[in-house]
Amino acid sequence: MSKGLLGCGAVLLVLVVAAGGLFLWGTGVYNHLVGLDEGVKTAWSQVENTYQRRADLIPNLVKTVEGAADFERETLTEVIEARAKATSVQITPQDLTNPEALARYQQAQDALSSALSRLMVVVERYPELKANQNFLQLQDELAGTENRIAVERKRFNEVAQGYNTARRRFPTKLIAQWFGFGEAAYFEAAEGAEQAPKVEFDFRER
C-alpha cells in the first residue's frame, strides 16, 4: 500500500473521528437545552396552577360577600370582571418566549389582585363578614394562594434565567439558534411595587 493511500486513510479517519465528536457534542448540548426548556415549561405550569387555584376560590368568596347587607355592588362587580378577564388570557408554551404575551397575562392577573385587595379593604366596614367563618376560611386560603403565587413566579424567573444564561453561552448559542430555542420571558415587578400601596375610598355615610 502506498504512502499516499495511507495518508488519505489517516486524514479520513481523523475527519470521521472529528465529525463523530462534533455530533456527540451537539447532541449533548441539544439535549441539555431541551431539559432546561422543559424545566421552564414545568415551572410555568406551577404558576398557572396557583393562579387557577385563586380563580377557583373567588366564586365562593363573592357568594359569601353577597350575603352581607348592602354590600358595595361596584366592588364585587370589579372582582367578577377582573376574574373573567384573568381567566380568559391564556399562555401557550410558545408564548413563554413572547414578552408581550406574558406581560398581558401578568397585567390581567395583577388587575385581579388589585380588585381583591380593594374588596378586602371594603370588607373592613362589615363586622358580620369579619366574623363569618366561611369568609375567614376563604380569606386565609386566598392569602396562602397569593403567597404561593409569589413563590412560583419567583421560581419561574429563576428557572427561566438559568435557561436563558445557558442558551446565550458560546458555543451553545449556535445550537440554540440553529434549533430555534428562543429566549424565555420573565415576570416583571408590577409598576410601583417598590412602594407601599395607597388605597383611598370616598365612603358615604351609612
Please check whether residue 107 is in contact with residue 82, taking contact to mean a CB–CB distance below 8 angstroms.
no
How do the pLDDT tens digits run along the chain, 206 residues long?
A: 555 555 566 666 666 666 666 667 778 889 999 999 999 999 999 999 999 999 999 999 999 988 776 778 888 999 999 999 999 999 998 899 999 999 999 999 999 999 999 999 998 888 888 888 999 999 999 999 999 999 999 999 999 999 999 999 998 999 899 999 999 999 986 554 434 333 333 333 33
Q: Which H or E run includes 68?
A: none
Please check whether residue 185 is in contact with residue 97, taking contact to mean a CB–CB distance below 8 angstroms.
yes
Q: Is 1.20.1440.20 the CATH number for 26-178? A: yes
Locus of grid cell 475527519: 15
pLDDT at 93: 87
| DSSP codes of every residue in 31-53 | HHHHHHHHHHHHHHHHHHHHHHH
Cell of 71: 354590600
Cell of 120: 378586602
pLDDT at 96: 93
Domain locations along the chain: 26-178
